Amino acid sequence: MARILDGNKIRDEIKNELRPRVERLVRPPGLAVVLVGNNPASEIYVRGKTKTSAELGIYSETITPPATISTEELIALVQQLNARDEIDGILVQLPLPDHIDSQKVLLTVSPEKDVDGFHPCNVGNLATGRPGPRSCTPAGIIEILKRSQIPISGQRAVVVGRSDIVGKPMALLLLHENATVTICHSKTRDLPRVCHEADILVAAIGRPGMITRDFIKPGATVIDVGITRVEGKAVGDVNAADASELSSAYTPVPGGVGPLTIAMLMMNTVAAAERKCSPPA
């Protein structure tokens, strides 16, 4: 029987490590979340971020402009947050309404306050192995693997999905841990065969249940990033029954990767505050 990798347990470990770091600071870290309009899924995510901030002693502020806000108005709002010393991290909740130029807005966030790790400066830091905030979901997956004592170095890793938020940074983080990495996508030929070679298989494609037994090498570690609502139930990209039967370890949906995304956001926020206001040694 495969081992279930409990994201909630690992999230709690990280939160316990962050509390004393917050207490050592001369003021609470500050996180501003910009939530445009009324997207129910986004509202749930933001509530989770606000709740976790409060548990850790992080000051959290949610700004909720209407869905009719223009790109220029939203950029001006972000610039105001950039200028506020007590705000260490800025998160613009995606997706934004269709009429807003998301790229322009995200580029406005100061790289030092980009706790999502989306700014090109921070993506460049990741690509070149320099310090800086990392995209939260991929960084959380690395924490899951390391804290579960799953070897990465020398392993064959396959990432299914090439998004800027998960797929690409995931591949880079695995490379930095000395895995041999393949990125797959909609044009990959014979996808099941490529996935079947993976010691570590990361599914981030947003297609519920697509990764079945034909994709899973016996004994592999399977990381399921996808989460889709199907008939009111949260379903991952991986067929859970097949992962349970064939893998050595896998992340469930829900309760696997999801809890780590918010934990890593908190870690990025605390680290940003530490860079600005740690007391002298």
Indicate whether 20 belongs to any domain.
no
Q: What is the CATH number of the domain that holds 105?
A: 3.40.50.10860
Kindly report the CATH number assigned to the domain that includes residue 243: 3.40.50.720
Asked if 172 contacts 199 with a C-beta cutoff of 8 angstroms, the reply is no
Given a contact cutoff of 8 angstroms between Cβ atoms, the answer to whether 143 and 126 are in contact is no
pLDDT in tens, 106-165: 999 999 999 999 999 999 999 999 999 999 999 999 999 999 999 999 999 999 999 999
Same domain, 54 and 95: yes
Catalytic residues: 49, 93, 116
154 lies in some domain: yes
Same domain? For 196 and 93 the reply is no
Whether residues 92 and 173 share a domain: the answer is: no
Q: Is 271 part of a structural domain of the chain? A: no
Q: What are φ and ψ of residue 234, in 5° steps?
A: -75, 125
Same domain, 185 and 237: yes
- Per DSSP, the residues of 178-200 read T-EEEEE-TT-TTHHHHHTT-SE
Domain match, 81 and 152 both: no
Strands 221-224 and 200-203: parallel
Domain-located, residue 215: yes
- Tally of domains within the chain: 2
In a 13 Å sphere around the CA of 35, the CA atoms on its Cβ side amount to: 19
In a domain, 212, yes or no: yes
Question: Do 145 and 254 fall within a single domain?
Answer: yes
DSSP string, 201-214: EEE-S--TT-B-GG
Query: What pTM does this model have?
Result: 0.94
Higher-pLDDT residue of 74, 39? 74
Residues 182-230: pLDDT tens digits? 999 999 999 999 999 999 999 999 999 999 999 999 999 999 999 888 8
- Could you tell me the pLDDT band of residue 279, with boundaries at 50, 70 and 90? low
Task: Give strand ranges (E) for the chain.
Answer: 3-4, 30-34, 59-63, 89-92, 156-160, 180-184, 200-203, 221-224, 228-230, 233-235, 249-250
Q: Per DSSP, what are the bridge partners of residue 61? A: 32
* Cα–Cα distance for residue pair 241/213, rounded to 1 Å: 9
Does some domain include residue 111?
yes
> Does residue 280 have a pLDDT over 70?
no
Quick one: pLDDT band at residue 39, thresholds 50, 70, 90? confident
- The overall average pLDDT reported for the chain is 95
Domain holding 91, by residue range, is 25-117
Q: Indicate whether 147 and 87 sit together in one domain.
A: no
3-state secondary structure of 40: helix
Can you give the pLDDT at residue 27? 95
| Per-residue pLDDT tens digits for 46-60 | 999 999 999 999 999
Shared domain check, 144 and 94: no
